[in-house]
Amino acid sequence: MRSDPLFNEGNRDVGLLILRVMLGLFMFYGHGMGKVGRLFGDDPISFADPFGLGPTASLALAAFAEGICSIFVVLGLWTRWALIPLIITMSVAFTRHMGDDFGQMEKALFYLFGFIALFFAGPGRYSLDYWRSK
């Protein structure tokens, strides 16, 4: 048994809430909104095509992950399912920056490992997933 007074399930769940909301909102506002806007904008689509699906399909997949799935993560709704496209997207982003200096790779790695940690830890008690399971 741990004697640390700060270690308890409630604090663990608050930590997961903070991590979930921070990662999800930063992803949505920093990346998702822009990609969704580009997808439905009037400008011609120019986007990386790592899977050979075409730039429009690749942008749509990235916009879905970063724009839609990130909101599900914030809400804690279908969290682990929503994290899978985000983990894939950040893995692709990391490999695209693999030859760059660490500063270019850092953001993708930050999101990637944060999303992986959430995938294994789960959304916590302060999530819609928790309340749906009751």
Confirm whether pTM is higher than 0.85: yes
- Tell me if 43 sits within 8 A of 8, measured CB to CB: no
Q: Collect all residues with Cβ–Cβ distance below 8 Å to 64 and sequence separation of at least 6.
A: 85
pLDDT digits (tens), the chain, 134 positions: 456 666 777 789 999 999 999 999 999 999 999 999 988 988 888 888 888 899 899 999 999 999 999 999 999 999 999 999 999 999 999 988 888 888 888 999 999 999 999 999 999 999 999 999 88
Residue extents of the structural domains in the chain:
23-133
DSSP of 3-37: --TT-SHHHHHHHHHHHHHHHHHHHIIIIIHHHHH
- Tell me if 19 sits within 8 A of 129, measured CB to CB: no
Name the DSSP class of 75.
Answer: H
